[in-house]
Amino acid sequence: MIWTDIVWPEIGQATIDTLVMSASALVFTVLLGLPLGVLLFLSGKRQLLQQRALNAVLSLVVNFLRSVPFIILLIIMIPLTVWLIGTSIGVAGAIPPLVLAAAPFYARLVENVLREVDHGVVEACQAMGANTRQIILGALLPEALPGLLAAVTVTAIALVSYSAMAGAIGGGGLGDLAIRYGYQRFQPDVMVITVLLMVFLVQLLQIAGDRLVLHFTRH
């Protein structure tokens, strides 16, 4: 290990890349996963918009995307990614596969969180004459907010680790650095530093997420 050889500027850039990738993927993941999760929940058995066929199809799609290993998803997504944003490499090229992997994951978490909302509250809203939209926006989502935020935290952390994998196909970021320097150039010191940075990032996310959840929990 020759600690003097470490390319600090590259590490800095890779950290920024990881943050950009994860953060933008997270935004799209929530934008896509939240409605998907709500729909999964509402179309389920004995729920407000019970729709057996729709629920089965959504569930199948979600399960399919969640069962494909991310590294394979990265590869089979390449044509779609190119069509979407013109390239399949770099920070931008990593975002579509990240979203497609994380959105179904988040949707399932959302579905579970919504299931935890007391059905009596929904019933009370119906008794007050609320329509489905009012129940979702006025009761279900606000009641589930702490759980939804906790699910965002879990998803954000999953995205950080997925984004490292994106490095394998030239996605940039800390994972890419670890592979190029640590694996291909036999510089374990770089790998150690990138891993430490990832650990630090995950810790930070978890702490921030926990605080947010606590802030929105009404005791």
Binding site for other proteins (CB under 8 A): 118, 120-121, 123-131, 134, 138-139, 142-143, 145, 216, 218-219
Our CB check for other proteins shows the closer of 80 and 124 to be 124
Tokens of 11: 């590490």
CB of 82 to other proteins, least distance (A): 43
Closest C-alpha among 152, 184, 180 to residue 17: 180
What does the alpha-carbon distance between residue 60 and residue 87 come to, in Å, rounded to a whole number?
A: 29
Which residue, 6 or 117, has its beta carbon nearer to other proteins? 117
Q: How far is the CB of 142 from other proteins (least distance, A)?
A: 4
Q: Shortest distance, CB of residue 155 to other proteins, whole angstroms?
A: 21
Task: Write the DSSP string, 129-145.
Answer: T--HHHHIIIIIHHHHH
Nearer to other proteins, 185 or 211 (CB): 211
Q: How far is the CB of 140 from other proteins (least distance, A)?
A: 10
Nearer to other proteins (CB atom), residue 1 or residue 121:
121
DSSP characters over 138-184: IIIHHHHHHHHHHHHHHHHHHHHHHHHHHGGGT--SHHHHIIIIIII
